[in-house]
Chains A and B, each alone.
Chain A
Amino acid sequence: MEQIIDQYESQKRKLNATMRNRLTAYAFILPNFLGFVAFVLVPVLASFVLCFTEWDTSNPIQFKGLGNFLQLLKDDAFITSFWNTVYYTGAVVPLTMAVSLGLAVMLDKKLKGAKVFRSIFFIPYIASLVAISVVWNMIFSPEAGPVNSFLRSIGLSEPPLWTSSVHWAMPVIIFVGIWRFVGYYMVLYLAGLQGIPRELYEAAEVDGATAWQQFRKITLPMLTPTTFFVVIMLVINSFKVFDQIMVMTQGGPGRATHVLVFYIYYRAFQVFEFGYASAIAFVLFLVVLTITIIQFRMEEKWVKYM
């Protein structure tokens, strides 16, 4: 009997504790959550409902079931955009990670001028895209641009046409994408590096570990929470690439840089098929979500939280 009461009591206590935790948690979340629900979550959910409809904003909404998705399968422009987006992401994610991590490690040290270097590498991220994309277009200009002048001077008689070439437009976009965001991820890595206890390195040095060993055995594992965040943000942002394409190539030449969000934008605001645009966005969302969930599943395997 006593045992049962005990069990009951302890369960009650547990429940109470859960309840208390819940209340505390909600109190913390609430200020952000209210705004988030009203201005982000509700609009996002509304756009999901639109996936299954046909809506041009003026005529009444028509329910279409999976019609939009069936149409997607036959839509050349969608399929091209999808693969272009995958191409962009596949190139940008690893390259940006490598470069930004490299910069962060180099600039974390007590190096003369580190502060200046860090600021310089951050500049591309804060630059006005309109102004800077004009300059990049000129740098890659096929006839007179410095890149091709250089290539010709080293004996390449027919250098690529870059943004005017179906094959080279995307690499240019990728290059500019990396160039713009390396500084941003460098900052994330720098913040992450601050969390690594210096003692670990000191101990390793005493044991005679080389710089490379220290990097592999201490820095990389200790940085995994940051890397986890960086990978997810990079994947999401690469899948959502839009503005630099909008100002540099407008999806062209032909459809060479036609990516998903560009297509969504076009379908929604030029053709006014909100249902169809939402369906494309839904596919994009599913892809990113799958990748993110896989990452979260694997989080326990490779991310080491303290």
Chain B
Amino acid sequence: MKKAMRIFTMLLALTMVFTLFTGCGSNTKVSEPAAKETAKKEEAKTETPAKKVKIKFAAWDTTLAGNEFKVVVDNFNKQSKTTEVEIIDASGKDFQDKLNISLAGGDDIDVYGIKDMPQYSSHITKKQVLALDDLIKKDGFDISPYGKGLDVLKVDGKTLALPFRSDFWILFYNKDLFDKAKLPYPTADMTWDQYRELAKKLTSGEGNDKVWGSFFHTWLSCTNNLMIAQGKNTMIDGKYDFLKPAYDLRLNLEQVDKSQMAYASIKSTNSHYRTMFESGKVAMLPMATFFIGTMISEKKAGKHNVNWGITKLPHFADGKSGDSVFNYTPVAINAGTKNRDAAWEFMRYLCGEPGALTIAKLGVMPAYSTKNVLDTYSSIEGFPADGKPALESPNAFIEFPVHKNAAQISKAIDEEAQMILIKSKNIDDGLKAMETKVKDLIGSK
């Protein structure tokens, strides 16, 4: 009996210690979600204008200074009388993991950003996106400024997301390096052969003074995109021999001309395109327009002093000037949202003209492109004076159309692309292997 008592008291003491500890820093927090829940319900019922509906918006890198999501959300919260947006943040690298788990676990996120097209496809398969057509119709929201960007996001005629940012690939170059080599700046109508010649001439130095003529980043899409830009094929066709010229070019740059850092070296030394370009070690960099904003803001912040320019992406002999590839950043409303109207109110602000004007001022290219928005974009301080033509009338194509198995297809392609670039397989074998690997995935559309 005595023993039992002792054990009992001990357990009691343990429980007390336990509650004490877990309670000490967080008792306020425990009750918080419950309180929020009830508050939200009340608001939904009565719609009292005094209390704003709180919605959650998941986005990445919002803690960085001048992050475009953050700036738009702040502006929105200032002007909206009915809705308040709370940001759920994660770093760009981990955002998708966190979002996926939250959505799968039934978290009450109302609106969320999507990092790339394969992810967008997977949200659709998982029925995590709300069809927006009724909302668009009800409001008479003008969707024409999105151009064909919106069609890309449509599935079976339904609009499941709005594009927030829209970027396409252009060529960045370092003017000082061209001047030093006494070479003319790259033109808007240049073939990849000419690019190769230029790159060879621009490569110089050794060790820490090495300057590379060309820099393709480690993203495997960098190479594939050169062919996608011609608009004849996409990555879900299941046939990949059309990629051969791009891999030929890449390997020639690396091995024959030695004007491009080898893929393996970039990987193992974590050489990032941004650091390489900003430190003046790269003369020409094919990259998407989102890099414009970075270059401008970092120059303002004194982090680099590169005299840079932009022009249209080079093309192959059978292509034409202006060929390029689109990247979208779609934003969707969670199918399970309890605050549909508030979510839509925020969404049309974020992806519509107010949001577009805000981010254009930050040097980020909005998908909602009216003349007003474009003028704002190209007239911001720090934008290269002769750069405007580079952005005009691109003939751009989408790399990854919506496909049920997009994530798996893209992984299979990446694996083989890697084998080609580390020279473990020759180009033909690698492209063949891609086809074999995706065969079953493509079929089950």
By a beta-carbon cutoff of 8 Å, the part of chain A in contact with chain B is 23-24, 27, 30-31, 56-59, 134, 137-138, 140-145, 161-166, 252-255, 266, 269-272
Confirm or deny: B268 has a beta carbon within 8 angstroms of a beta carbon on chain A: yes
A144–B126 Cα distance when bound, in Å, is 45
Taking A56-B126, A59-B127, A272-B125 as known contacts, 13 extra A-B pairs with beta carbons closer than 8 A to each other, sorted by chain A number, are A31-B15, A31-B18, A58-B126, A138-B268, A141-B268, A142-B265, A143-B262, A143-B265, A163-B267, A164-B264, A165-B422, A254-B424, A271-B407
- A161 touches which of B15, B127, B422 (Cβ 8 Å): B422
Q: Are B126 and A57 in contact (CB under 8 A)?
A: yes
Name the residue on A nearest B265 (C-beta). A143
Interface string of B189-227 (1 = CB under 8 A from A): 000000000000000000000000000000000000000
How many residues from B make CB contacts under 8 Å with A? 35
Asked if A161 meets B264 with Cβ closer than 8 Å, knowing A141-B269, A270-B407, the reply is yes
A27–B9 Cα distance when bound, in Å, is 11
A27–B4 Cα distance when bound, in Å, is 9
* Complex contacts, B101 vs chain A, CB 8 Å: 269
Q: Are B424 and A141 in contact (CB under 8 A)?
A: no
Q: Are A166 and B415 in contact (CB under 8 A)?
A: no
A257–B222 Cα distance when bound, in Å, is 23
Asked if A254 meets B268 with Cβ closer than 8 Å, knowing A27-B7, A269-B101, the reply is no
Asked if A58 meets B422 with Cβ closer than 8 Å, knowing A134-B270, A138-B270, A163-B268, the reply is no
- B415 touches which of A145, A164, A254 (Cβ 8 Å): A254
Chain A nearest Cβ from B259, distance in angstroms: 15
Interface string of B6-48 (1 = CB under 8 A from A): 0100010011001000000000000000000000000000000
- B267 touches which of A59, A164, A270, A272 (Cβ 8 Å): A164
Q: Are A253 and B418 in contact (CB under 8 A)?
A: yes
Q: Are A254 and B267 in contact (CB under 8 A)?
A: no
Dominant secondary structure at the A interface: loop
The 8 closest A-B pairs by CB, nearest first: A164-B264, A57-B104, A141-B268, A58-B126, A27-B7, A254-B419, A58-B127, A137-B268
Chain B nearest Cβ from A51, distance in angstroms: 18
Chain B nearest Cβ from A239, distance in angstroms: 22
A255–B7 Cα distance when bound, in Å, is 54
Q: Are B14 and A31 in contact (CB under 8 A)?
A: yes
Name 5 A/B residue pairs within 8 A (Cβ), A-sorted. A27-B11, A58-B128, A141-B265, A253-B419, A272-B125
Q: Are A272 and B122 in contact (CB under 8 A)?
A: yes
Chain B nearest Cβ from A243, distance in angstroms: 13
A31–B269 Cα distance when bound, in Å, is 49
A23–B3 Cα distance when bound, in Å, is 11
Chain B nearest Cβ from A71, distance in angstroms: 11
Chain A nearest Cβ from B225, distance in angstroms: 20
* Complex contacts, B80 vs chain A, CB 8 Å: none
A165–B128 Cα distance when bound, in Å, is 40
A271–B101 Cα distance when bound, in Å, is 12
A58–B267 Cα distance when bound, in Å, is 36
Chain B nearest Cβ from A133, distance in angstroms: 10
Chain B nearest Cβ from A305, distance in angstroms: 26
Instruction: List residues 409-427 of chain B with CB under 8 A from any CB of chain A.
Output: 411, 415-416, 418-419, 422, 424
Most buried by B among A57, A58, A163, A164: A164
Most buried by B among A24, A59, A144, A254: A254
Confirm or deny: B97 has a beta carbon within 8 angstroms of a beta carbon on chain A: yes
Q: Are B408 and A271 in contact (CB under 8 A)?
A: yes
Asked if A166 meets B100 with Cβ closer than 8 Å, knowing A56-B125, A59-B127, A254-B415, the reply is no
* Complex contacts, B270 vs chain A, CB 8 Å: 134, 137-138
Asked if A253 meets B422 with Cβ closer than 8 Å, knowing A56-B126, A269-B100, A272-B104, the reply is yes
A23–B104 Cα distance when bound, in Å, is 41
Chain A nearest Cβ from B13, distance in angstroms: 10
Chain B nearest Cβ from A209, distance in angstroms: 46
Name the residue on A nearest B269 (C-beta). A141
- A266 touches which of B11, B264, B411 (Cβ 8 Å): B411
Asked if A253 meets B265 with Cβ closer than 8 Å, knowing A134-B270, A269-B100, A270-B411, the reply is no
A220–B419 Cα distance when bound, in Å, is 46
* Complex contacts, A56 vs chain B, CB 8 Å: 125-126
* Complex contacts, B18 vs chain A, CB 8 Å: 31
A24–B11 Cα distance when bound, in Å, is 12
Q: Are A145 and B411 in contact (CB under 8 A)?
A: no
Chain A nearest Cβ from B132, distance in angstroms: 18
Q: Are A254 and B418 in contact (CB under 8 A)?
A: yes
A77–B4 Cα distance when bound, in Å, is 56
A23–B268 Cα distance when bound, in Å, is 58
